[in-house]
C-alpha cells in the first residue's frame, strides 16, 4: 500500500442502525468529491473476507439519506474472529488496491477493525449502533432514532395501559447498557426505569406503584433494559408480589428500524465526511466521535477502553420526577 490515499472501501458491520445509510452516502460522495475511487463492501466483514466489493458512484447512494437499515447490508461475522479470516480480509483489500477502510458499526466491528489495523490496514471507524455504548463518543449513529421510536411506542402502550388500568413492563434493547432505557424512560415519564448499571429492589418498584395507586393512579409504565434480565420473569414476579394486573411488551428489533431522525442523519453525514478527511490527512487507526457537540477524531484505541460512567444523575432525576 502506498502512502497517498487513492482508493477507499466502506462497510457496515454488526447490528444495523438508522443513519448508517446517511454515513455510507457521506463517505462515498465525500470520497468521490476528492477524486478517490470508492468501493462498498457488502455484508460487513463477511463480504470483505469473501470479496463482495462494488465500486460506488454518485448515483449508487441516491435516495438513501433518509432511509433506515443499511444498503450495504451487514452481518455478525464469525470468520473475522479467526486468523485465517483476518488474513483473507487483508488479502482482498490488497488485491483491489484499497488503501484504507472505513468501518461503520458497534463495538464488535471495532474489534475487527483493530485486527486489520494491526496488519497495516489504514482504518477509520464510525460509531454506528442504537446502543450508544461506544467509549470515546457522546453519541452513536442510530441512538437518537431508537430512543424516539421507544418513546412513540410507549405513548401508544400508555393509551391501553390507562384504559385497562394495567401495569406494563416494556423491555428495550441496549445489550448490557441502559442508555436507551434511561433516555426513553425520562422522555416518556416512565414510573420506573430498570437498568443493568444500577441495582434495584423489586419491593421499591412495587412500593412506588402502590403509592401511585393510593393517589388514584391506576396505570404504570416500567421501562426495562434488556441487560437486566428476562422481562417475562420480572413481569411475573411483579404481578405475583404486587397483585397489579401486569403485561409485558418486548419492543425488540422494531427499535433498529425506521427512518433516521434529523439528528442521526446529520451526525452520520458529518462523521462520514470527517472519516474521509481524516484519511486524506494521512491519519489512520482513528474513530470519529461526537464530543462536546462537535464531530472530532480520536485514536481508535479509545473505543476499546472502559465505557463512560452511566449518567447516574439523570437516572436519579428520572426517579425523582416519577415519584
**Which residues are catalytic, by number?**
131
- Which is closer to ligand F6P, CB of 25 or CB of 256? 256
Looking up cell 394486573 gives 245
Nearer to ligand F6P, 43 or 256 (CB): 256
Which helix (H) or strand (E) covers residue 180, if one does? Answer: helix 179-187
Are 79 and 51 in contact, with CB atoms under 8 Å apart? Answer: no
Q: How far is the CB of 306 from ligand F6P (least distance, A)?
A: 18
Indicate the residue among 197 and 226 with the shorter CB distance to ligand F6P.
226
* Residues with Cβ within 8 Å of residue 140, at least 6 apart in sequence: 17, 106, 127, 128, 129, 130, 131, 132, 133, 134
Min CB(17)–ligand F6P separation in Å: 7
Q: Determine the Cα angle at 51 with ends 142 and 113, to 5°.
A: 45
Give least dist CB 177 to ligand F6P, A.
8
Considering the complex, what minimum distance in angstroms separates the CB of residue 22 from ligand F6P? 18
CB 246 within 8 A of CB 222: no
Half-sphere exposure of 65 (CA within 13 A, CB side): 17
Indicate the pairing of strand 286-291 with strand 294-299: antiparallel
How many whole angstroms separate alpha carbon 311 and alpha carbon 148?
19
Contact footprint for ligand F6P (CB under 6 A): 15, 76, 106, 129-131, 173-175, 226, 256
CB-wise, 143 or 168, nearer to ligand F6P? 143
**Would you say 29 or 256 has its CB closer to ligand F6P?**
256
Instruction: Give phi and psi for 35, each to the nearest 5.
Output: 80, 15
Residue 131 Cβ vs ligand F6P, minimum distance, rounded to whole Å: 5
In what helix (H) or strand (E) does residue 249 lie, and over which residues does it extend? strand 246-250
CB of 105 to ligand F6P, least distance (A): 9
Residue pointed to by grid coordinates 483491489:
96
Count other C-beta atoms under 10 Å from residue 83's C-beta.
9
- Helix axis angle for 20-33 and 262-280, nearest 10°, is 40
Identify the helix (H) or strand (E) that includes residue 223: strand 220-225
Between 16 and 99, whose beta carbon lies closer to ligand F6P?
Answer: 16
Amino acid at each position: 500500500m502506498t502512502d497517498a490515499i487513492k482508493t477507499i472501501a466502506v462497510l457496515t458491520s454488526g447490528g444495523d442502525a438508522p443513519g448508517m445509510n446517511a454515513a455510507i452516502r457521506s463517505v462515498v460522495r465525500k470520497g468521490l468529491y476528492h477524486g478517490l475511487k470508492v468501493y462498498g463492501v457488502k455484508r460487513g466483514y463477511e463480504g470483505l473476507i469473501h470479496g463482495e466489493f462494488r465500486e460506488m458512484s454518485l448515483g449508487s447512494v441516491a435516495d438513501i439519506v433518509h432511509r433506515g437499515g443499511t444498503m450495504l447490508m451487514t452481518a455478525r461475522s464469525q470468520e473475522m474472529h479467526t486468523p485465517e479470516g483476518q488474513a483473507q480480509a487483508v488479502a482482498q483489500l490488497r488485491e483491489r488496491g484499497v488503501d484504507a477502510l472505513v468501518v461503520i458499526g458497534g463495538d464488535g466491528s471495532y474489534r475487527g477493525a483493530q485486527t486489520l489495523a494491526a496488519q497495516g490496514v489504514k482504518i477509520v471507524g464510525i460509531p454506528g449502533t442504537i446502543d450508544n455504548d461506544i467509549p470515546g463518543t457522546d453519541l452513536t449513529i442510530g441512538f437518537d432514532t431508537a430512543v424516539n421510536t421507544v418513546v412513540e411506542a410507549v405513548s401508544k402502550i400508555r393509551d391501553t395501559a390507562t384504559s385497562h388500568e394495567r401495569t406494563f413492563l416494556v423491555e428495550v434493547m441496549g445489550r448490557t447498557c441502559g442508555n436507551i432505557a434511561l433516555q426513553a424512560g425520562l422522555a416518556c415519564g416512565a414510573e420506573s426505569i430498570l437498568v443493568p448499571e444500577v441495582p434495584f429492589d423489586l419491593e421499591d418498584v412495587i412500593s412506588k406503584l402502590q403509592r401511585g395507586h393510593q393517589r388514584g393512579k391506576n396505570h404504570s409504565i416500567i421501562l426495562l433494559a434488556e441487560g437486566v434480565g428476562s422481562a417475562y420473569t420480572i413481569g411475573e414476579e411483579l404481578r405475583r408480589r404486587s397483585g397489579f394486573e401486569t403485561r409485558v411488551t418486548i419492543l425488540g428489533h422494531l427499535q433498529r428500524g425506521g427512518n433516521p431522525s434529523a439528528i442521526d442523519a446529520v451526525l452520520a453525514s458529518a462523521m462520514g465526511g470527517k472519516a474521509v478527511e481524516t484519511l486524506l490527512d494521512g491519519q489512520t487507526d482513528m474513530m470519529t466521535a461526537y464530543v462536546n457537540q462537535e464531530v472530532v477524531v480520536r485514536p481508535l484505541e479509545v473505543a476499546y477502553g472502559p465505557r463512560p460512567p452511566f449518567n447516574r444523575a439523570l437516572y436519579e432525576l428520572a426517579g425523582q420526577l416519577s415519584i
